[in-house]
Amino acid sequence: MKMNEDLKKAQAQMKSGVITVEGFLGYDDRDLATIIQHDEEEMARLNLDWEVVGQAMHDLLKKGSDGLGEPISVDKKWLVHVDETRGTLPSPWAGEGIFHKVNCEVRRLDKEGKPEGKILLFNELSLNMLEKHHFLQGRGSHFRLEPSDVKTVLGMWG
């Protein structure tokens, strides 16, 4: 994948202090095309389908919203905490809209119903970037979605 003009503009918007204080790239010094290509390869290696992952995350966000800001058990498989913060975030990709700051934290539950170690933290903007651009954010980013963590927490073993 090559760095085209759209990717260059998006990457400039992702830097710390432009849209958010921390930005979307963390300590990752790779260019955006390389980050996306690496994550696409890793998702394929783990046999994870972008559309299936996105739908599962949307479902957890929706079901977790029933907790009204409190963590709830979803399908006896996940502990989901959804909260909304004031304000909105624009997409770093021009013209893709504004997203509410609705954060979702998901942890897998063990057989006794206790939360396991790995956590997925995402928001509406994270989901948009995952679905439309296969961008999981840079290494060290607060909302980085590691493909191996996605597979573990969502329980996608296929």
Model pLDDT, residue 158 = 46
Total count of domains within the chain: 1
Q: How much is the average pLDDT of 73-100?
A: 94
Model pLDDT, residue 113 = 87
3-state secondary structure the chain: CCCCHHHHHHHHHHCCCCCCCCCCCCCCCCCHHHHHHHHHHHHHHCCCCHHHHHHHHHHHHHHHHHHCCCCEEECCCEEEEEEEEEEEEECCCCCCCEEEEEEEEEEEECCCCCEEEEEEEEEHHHHHHHHHHCCCCCCCCCCCCCHHHHHHHHCCCC
Model pLDDT, residue 69 = 86
Under 8 Å CB-to-CB from 82, ≥6 apart: which residues? Answer: 61, 64, 65, 67, 69, 102, 103, 104, 105
In a domain, 72, yes or no: no
In a domain, 125, yes or no: yes
In a domain, 50, yes or no: yes
pLDDT in tens, 79-91: 999 999 888 999 9
In a domain, 76, yes or no: no
Report the mean per-residue pLDDT for the chain: 94
In a domain, 10, yes or no: no
In a domain, 12, yes or no: no
Which pair of structure tokens corresponds to residue 90?
């624009």
Residue-number span of the structural domain to which 32 is assigned? 21-67+81-154
In a domain, 2, yes or no: no
Tell me if 154 sits within 8 A of 53, measured CB to CB.
yes
Model pLDDT, residue 108 = 95
pLDDT band at 60 (very low <50, low <70, confident <90, very high): very high
Model pLDDT, residue 156 = 79
Is-above-0.85 flag for pTM? yes
In a domain, 3, yes or no: no
Model pLDDT, residue 157 = 62
Q: How much is the average pLDDT of 132-152?
A: 96
